[in-house]
Amino acid sequence: MDEKKYWVDILAFWFAYLDESKEQNSFFVYSTLIVRGDRWSDAFSHVREFRRGLKSKYGIYMTEELHAWKFAAGKGRISEKAIFKKQRAEIYREVLEFIATCGFFRLMSSVNTNEKYAFERLMNRINRTAVAKNNAHVLLFSDEGQEAIFTKRIRKMRVYNPIPSSQGTWAETGNFTQNIPLSQFVEDPIFKDSKNSYFIQLVDFAAYALLRSERPIPSRSVLGYDKLYDILRPVTVSENNPRDPRGLGIIR
């Protein structure tokens, strides 16, 4: 292949930022924030400007990790001045509104009582969507802490990934399952300390919002956390699950 053609044929890439939120190891949420590779630099600039806005308006440190459940619980010194729970809920809403309106993101989420099932269902939907959307390839980023487990799962799913037929059997073979590897995922997942990734912090906010809407608790619902995930509707991928009763494409 000559040099000119090599550079023309570059494939589309997605950067997929993954995070989990869970309820006492009995209910699991996975959310992934998708950023197109060719728009990553612009997206990062907008996120950085948004964080500067939070610093200017509320004094929130640019270098402080915004960890969703701690933020909602009023924990952590995130500013020189105290920011109490009611105001934090308002800021939380601003974060989700930024995700929904800035124009750089798509959001995919799964929920299940089985953690492995929730993870694998989400990975399969990302792969299927990537095939449908310009045959994009996916580079997965995740918070640190699950390196061995996630890497092993992705490596296996790239080779052997039996998918059950929604019709009972696959028409081509008559079998109950068909091997559909994660063809669009490249390399092993990349793990980053969430305090050093604005994107992982954003998807953490999305995942926790979904957890509190699917499993509401009074101490958060009184501040509106049970309704915050709906703010993200403009960037959810509804075709991921057309039967989702909420119309948000949540994979169940």
Residue 57 lies in a domain: yes
Domain of residue 95 covers 3-147+192-240
* 185-212 pLDDT per residue, tens: 999 999 999 999 999 999 999 999 999 9
Q: 103 phi and psi, to 5 degrees? A: 90, 10
Band (pLDDT 50/70/90 cuts) for residue 153 is very high
Distance of alpha carbon 205 from alpha carbon 92, whole angstroms: 8
Distance of alpha carbon 89 from alpha carbon 44, whole angstroms: 24
CB 106 within 8 Å of CB 121: no
Residue 182 lies in a domain: no
pTM: 0.93
**Which DSSP category does 48 fall into?**
H
Residue 187 lies in a domain: no
Residue 169 lies in a domain: no
Cα separation values, 143 from 16, 20, 40, 197, Å: 12, 9, 18, 9
Residue whose C-alpha is closest to residue 206's, from 22, 26, 1, 32 = 32
Cα separation values, 224 from 22, 29, 54, 90, 209, Å: 19, 19, 20, 9, 10
**Which DSSP category does 234 fall into?**
G
Cα separation values, 99 from 13, 18, 36, 120, 215, Å: 20, 15, 14, 24, 22
Tally of domains within the chain: 1
* 46-56 pLDDT per residue, tens: 999 999 999 99
Tell me the Ramachandran region of residue 145: left when phi exceeds 0, alpha when psi lies from -120 to 50, beta otherwise: left
- How far from the centroid of its chain's Cα atoms is residue 109's Cα? 6
CB 231 within 8 Å of CB 96: yes
Residue 51 lies in a domain: yes
Q: What is the pLDDT of residue 3?
A: 56
Residue 171 lies in a domain: no
Looking at the predicted structure, is the pLDDT value of residue 58 above 80? yes
Q: Give the DSSP H/E element, type plus range, for residue 21.
A: strand 13-23
Q: What is the pLDDT of residue 166?
A: 74
CB 66 within 8 Å of CB 201: yes
Residue 175 lies in a domain: no
Q: What is the pLDDT of residue 8?
A: 55
* 215-224 pLDDT per residue, tens: 999 999 999 9
Residue 12 lies in a domain: yes
Looking at the predicted structure, is the pLDDT value of residue 64 above 80? yes
